[in-house]
Amino acid sequence: MSERFEDEAVTAREVEEALTRADASGAVAVRAGRVVGFLLGAPKPDPVWGPNLWVESAGQALEPGEERETMRDLYAFAATRWREEGRTAHYVVTPATDRGLLDAWWRLGFGQQQAHAVRGLPEQPPRVQGPLVVRPASREDIPALARLEVELPRHQGRAPTFSSGELGSVEESTAEWEEDFDDPRFTTFVAERSGLVIGSAVACALELSSSNSGLIRPERAGFLGFAAVLPEHRGVGAGRALGEAAMGWCRQTGFSCIATDWRVTNLLSSRAWTSMGFEQTFLRLHRLIGF
């Protein structure tokens, strides 16, 4: 976690933001007249998350030395209101390194959904070996980029992830690429094999990722925001090569580290990124109540 959050004023602003979101609510734990913990959550309007309530990264805390069991009491109190409001899909973003806190959430019926991870940048990323070529994308690659962009949510919708995210069409994706291809904030790479584009990745500053805000965001971090390989070409090292290209771009751009995230039930990404040295920093947990 960034050292800037050692400043109480900086951290207080994050907590205040969590508290002032629309329809925010929660609970505080008081021991001997002293607040020793809190839990804050708010809904997101996006229907893809269901009738939801989110506890973001600044939405929970316990005083040092306080039993992690207290978080279960906080949830029991706050979730009573959330259930009465009809919010039955609960999401919690929590540190991946606090095993006691994770255990408290697991014993509340939560399971892992998403991992946020960071790693340092190698001095010299390995060169791509064999028949693969990784290069910056050009406008001529847009048809392939559009197909790859659609392939990722299609893959996420299959077992064992079963994501309910909306699956757009190749035509819609092509139109978006045509409009946004020259956006200087994003750098796109393609992996090519025997003259055929088989994979792509997009890198940018982590500040451009709304899902990696607040306590999750380290200082001067780049972001591997997208990576996909066509299913018939998986297993040849294209994903790793694209990830290494993103790392090289981050170092050349002046970032100090690179972040990414993935659905933990996505077998391909969870194995690929951890094998490349990404260390989990925060986890998004999920619980669906009422069944």
Confidence check: pLDDT of 180 > 70: yes
The pLDDT tens digits for 19-35 are: 999 999 999 999 999 99
Predicted confidence (pLDDT) per residue in 107-148, tens digit: 999 999 999 999 999 987 666 667 899 999 999 999 999 999
Average pLDDT, the chain: 95
pLDDT tens string 66-83: 999 999 999 999 999 999
For residue 166, the model assigns a pLDDT of 76
Residue 173: pLDDT band (50, 70, 90) is very high
* Superfamily holding 119-278: Gcn5-related N-acetyltransferase (GNAT) (3.40.630.30)
- pLDDT of the residue at 128: 64
Domain 3-109, CATH among 3.40.630.30, 2.60.40.180, 2.40.160.20, 3.40.190.80: 3.40.630.30
Position 167 pLDDT exceeds 90: no
With beta carbons less than 8 A apart as the criterion, state whether 286 and 111 touch. yes
Domains 3-109 and 119-278 share a fold: yes
pLDDT at site 21? 96
List the domain boundaries for the chain. Answer: 3-109, 119-278
Chain centre distance of CA 98: 18
CA distance between the termini of the chain: 36
**Average pLDDT score over residue span 42-69:** 95
Give the per-residue pLDDT at 127: 67
pLDDT at residue 125 in the model: 64
Q: Residue 126's pLDDT is what?
A: 64
